[in-house]
């Protein structure tokens, strides 16, 4: 079967892409704004380059056409902390994708504990294995796109105490997304 993308609507393209580019790690993005601490998951997320050390995160708009709070906060404060999601956080991560008015932060609504461990950046979600302290680098405007790819530069990397060995080898528990389902983490690495 060959499906021509120009014949497909956006929802169908999303359905195909989100099941074919798998698993996509979930970026649990912490930003700050009027609401205090805002936490939301994004799976259109990938590393782009290590020099400069940047990742891309694609963030869309709410149903009413206003930018999602993460997009608004990121372009205003220019800072984000991107946390990994382990199995223990799966339920709260999923709940934090519920849309709320910008004055209401998901961290407080869903009782998601956070810790401020680096001055000048949003806090990490307590208990995460890894967190990237990032600043806004560049926005990519794709003609006709409903989501805005944002390039973020990594300035510092938090790793849970004891996770990495002396050579900085480590395996994080990172839930991935396959279509609309979640891919359970595996601690087993297969080295060939």
Ligand X SMILES: Cc1cc2nc3c(=O)[nH]c(=O)nc-3n(C[C@H](O)[C@H](O)[C@H](O)COP(=O)(O)O)c2cc1C
The site for ligand X (CB under 6 A) is made up of 26, 38, 40-44, 58-60, 68-70, 94, 97-99, 147, 177
Q: Give least dist CB 152 to ligand X, A.
A: 13
Identify which of 111, 86, 96 has the alpha carbon closest to the alpha carbon of residue 31: 96
* Choice between 53 and 60, CB closer to ligand X: 60
| Integer Cα distance of 42 and 30 in angstroms | 11
* Choice between 53 and 67, CB closer to ligand X: 67
Let me know how long the chain is: 192
| Integer Cα distance of 192 and 183 in angstroms | 22
| Integer Cα distance of 172 and 150 in angstroms | 24
* Choice between 160 and 183, CB closer to ligand X: 183
Q: Give least dist CB 108 to ligand X, A.
A: 12
* Choice between 24 and 164, CB closer to ligand X: 24
Q: Give least dist CB 69 to ligand X, A.
A: 4
Q: Give least dist CB 162 to ligand X, A.
A: 27
Identify which of 81, 108, 84 has the alpha carbon closest to the alpha carbon of residue 95: 108
């Amino acid at each position: 079967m060959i499906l021509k993308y120009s014949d497909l609507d956006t929802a169908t393209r999303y359905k195909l892409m989100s099941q074919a580019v798998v698993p996509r790690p979930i970026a649990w993005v912490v930003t700050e704004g009027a609401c205090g601490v805002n936490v939301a998951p994004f799976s259109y997320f990938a590393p782009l380059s290590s020099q400069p050390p940047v990742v891309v995160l694609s963030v869309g708009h709410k149903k009413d056409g206003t930018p999602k709070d993460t997009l608004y906060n990121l372009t205003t404060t220019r800072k984000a902390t991107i946390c990994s999601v382990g199995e223990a956080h799966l339920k709260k991560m999923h709940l934090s994708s519920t849309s709320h008015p910008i004055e209401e932060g998901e961290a407080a609504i869903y009782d998601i504990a956070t810790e401020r461990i680096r001055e000048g950046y949003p806090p990490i979600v307590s208990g995460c294995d890894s967190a990237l302290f990032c600043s806004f680098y560049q926005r990519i405007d794709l003609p006709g796109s409903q989501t805005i790819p944002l390039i973020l530069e990594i300035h510092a990397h938090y790793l849970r105490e004891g996770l990495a060995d002396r050579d900085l080898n480590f395996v994080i528990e990172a839930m991935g997304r396959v279509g609309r389902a979640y891919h359970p983490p595996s601690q087993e690495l297969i080295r060939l």
